[in-house]
Structure 1
Amino acid sequence: MNNGELGAALRALRKASEREAKAVARSAVMSVSKLSKIETGKLSPSAADVERILTAIGVSDEVKVEYLEQARAEVTEATAWRLIQRMGLHRAQEQVRALEAQMTRLKVFQPALIPGLLQTPEYIHAILSRHGLTEDVLNKITRSRLERQRVLYDVNKDQQFVITEGVFRWRIVSPGRMAEQVDRLISLSRLSNVDVAVVPFSAQQGDIANHAFVMRDERTVTVEAVRAEIVVTDPRDVAEYVEKFERFSAVALHGDDMRAMLEELRNELVREQENG
């Protein structure tokens, strides 16, 4: 099935469901124009696009699996950051939020930053400031990311985060603000559906922390490169990321051991702030 056939099939499914294009586009967090281009074969949809469209239409899981297989014909998709910025970082946050609303399992590996869903407002602000945004846009995107964090409290979604110790040593914010960020992680780690794990420097490693990645339902993996966002959808490649995640999780500290480590780190940060 080529892009034209896939688009036509998506259009047929939408027509059969008696859903208007405007309503489907809104639910799929895309413009009506983009949906039209996908349906007419003028635009190649990503696997994430197809999944959002099918969810908006309301098809069965069996139909969704069938069509997602077609969308995954391209093993890797890359979206340049300049295109994401042209679309608007706020809009990009909404699309990620839509994906998170549909997922049931989330696995995040982060060797560089506190994962977005766990960040405090001050940490978010510090991260986004490097994009040269106006204060108004910066505040808007920060609010969008904080809205995304509501997903953490959905007990039907299993969410796992593996973070390396180096993340807490990398000075993105002041020691005082970082202490607040550590407190937030300790608090969130007590949620029944959230597992926050930390890989300590002392752990014997069997893998390399090449880059951060986000895995949703073990079907898609999103990797943020310097100038592009790469989405991996081929099941064989996704399986490698699953194994990589599990290797890091196996040597990480979980539960009370993790909280004890972070509490000690938090105390170090507070002392540093007081002495600074």
Structure 2
Amino acid sequence: MTVSPSSSAQAAREALAVRLTHLRKDAGLTGKDLSARCGWHPAKTTRLQKGAAPPSDADIRTWCTACGADDQADDLIATARAVDSMYLEWRRLHQGGMRTVQEDWYALHEQTRICRVYVSNVPPGFFQTPGFATALMGQITAFQGTPNDVAEAVAARVARSRFLYEGGHRYVVLMEESILRYRTADPDAMRGQLRHLLTVMPLASVSLGIIPFTAQRTVWPLEAFYLHDDTVAVVETLTAEIKVTQPRELADYAKAFAGLAEMAVYGDTARTLIQAAIDALE
């Protein structure tokens, strides 16, 4: 795994490295002593202590044994796996197909009370129709060269929409107007998708704002992100899913969302933009 562009993931990796370093020092070992006990080159110890390389489960167990701290191995392994999950490449996530990832998202949305979403490329998954989702996920599968389980993945994605109709969940969504105009699917699927947006807008659980092309920007267009109850932000890039948990970064995403919300239009004005996009497909 490469070093994450997210400082949350890197900060967590460095914190794990500090814990390993403290174990070594508490055991009264130098870096060379520990390397000798572990049976690896001192350069590896240096990399692990700097957080420059992620330790494997075996590395952690070997390190703990060398320090006489076998009782801490399981906790450190769990921590390392949590760090690893902060930055995951899509190809790695989709190596067995897309369905499993969609089911994981289902679990996260089930636990979320308020989800604030900003998208600049496609509607959020819980707003997508089967036709649109099929076209989009087919494109992603072809681009990534991962196993094609689009039909199953679409079913899992669409299942998330149930939370729009259940109590206890609220979705505050901001979409760039460009999403309404991108021909991500064929005209029929696009038309169905846009009409579906009009259908979900009146739901008590939904607030949908559209940021018009003509809006005076105070926040530039960003990558898609999902803020779940102010505890985690899931950011989607071309190559990876990044889970941000560091409070400072979460505050930045909340600040960006507030700025984007001020540029958006709502209600009848938003519906007019959606209807204009539908009319353009006729």
Q: TM-score, normalised by structure 1?
A: 0.70
Letter in 1 for 2:136: I
Aligned to 2:99, which of 82, 90, 98? 90
Q: Deviations over 1:233-252 (max 9, x none)?
A: 11111111111111111111
Letter in 2 for 1:219: T
Which residue does the alignment assign to 1:250?
Answer: 262
Q: How far has the Cα of 1:117 moved from its partner?
A: 0.9
- Aligned-partner Cα distance in 1 for 2:251–2:278: 35
Which residue does the alignment assign to 2:177?
Answer: 165
Letter in 1 for 2:110: A
Paired residues of 1:223 and 1:231 also in contact (CA < 8 A): yes
- Aligned-partner Cα distance in 2 for 1:152–1:237: 27
Paired residues of 1:47 and 1:233 also in contact (CA < 8 A): no
Matching of residue 103 in structure 1 with residue 112 in structure 2: yes
Which residue does the alignment assign to 1:179?
Answer: 191
Paired residues of 1:155 and 1:192 also in contact (CA < 8 A): no
Matching of residue 128 in structure 1 with residue 137 in structure 2: yes
Aligned to 1:81, which of 90, 98, 120? 90
- Aligned-partner Cα distance in 1 for 2:231–2:97: 26
Q: 1:124 to 1:48 in 2, by over 3 A?
A: farther
Aligned to 1:46, which of 59, 71, 82? 82
Letter in 2 for 1:191: L
Q: Deviations over 1:163-221 (max 9, x none)?
A: 00111111111223212111100110110110111101111110111211111001111
Q: 1:113 to 1:237 in 2, by over 3 A?
A: same
Give aligned-pair identity as a percent.
25
SS of structure 2 residue aligned to 1:195: strand
Which residue does the alignment assign to 1:117?
Answer: 126
Q: CA RMSD in A?
A: 2.6
Q: TM-score, normalised by structure 2?
A: 0.69
SS of structure 1 residue aligned to 2:95: helix
Q: 1:87 to 1:192 in 2, by over 3 A?
A: same
- Aligned-partner Cα distance in 1 for 2:205–2:74: 37
Letter in 2 for 1:90: R
Paired residues of 1:119 and 1:181 also in contact (CA < 8 A): yes
Structure 2, gaps ≥5 residues long: 1-14, 20-60, 62-72
- Aligned-partner Cα distance in 2 for 1:139–1:39: 38
Letter in 1 for 2:202: R
SS of structure 2 residue aligned to 1:215: strand
Q: How far has the Cα of 1:155 moved from its partner?
A: 2.8
Which residue does the alignment assign to 1:227?
Answer: 239
Larger Rg: 2
Q: How far has the Cα of 1:88 moved from its partner?
A: 4.0
Structure 1, gaps ≥5 residues long: 6-36, 50-76, 272-276
Letter in 1 for 2:126: L
Letter in 2 for 1:111: S
Paired residues of 2:174 and 2:209 also in contact (CA < 8 A): yes
Paired residues of 1:221 and 1:231 also in contact (CA < 8 A): yes
Which residue does the alignment assign to 2:11?
Answer: none
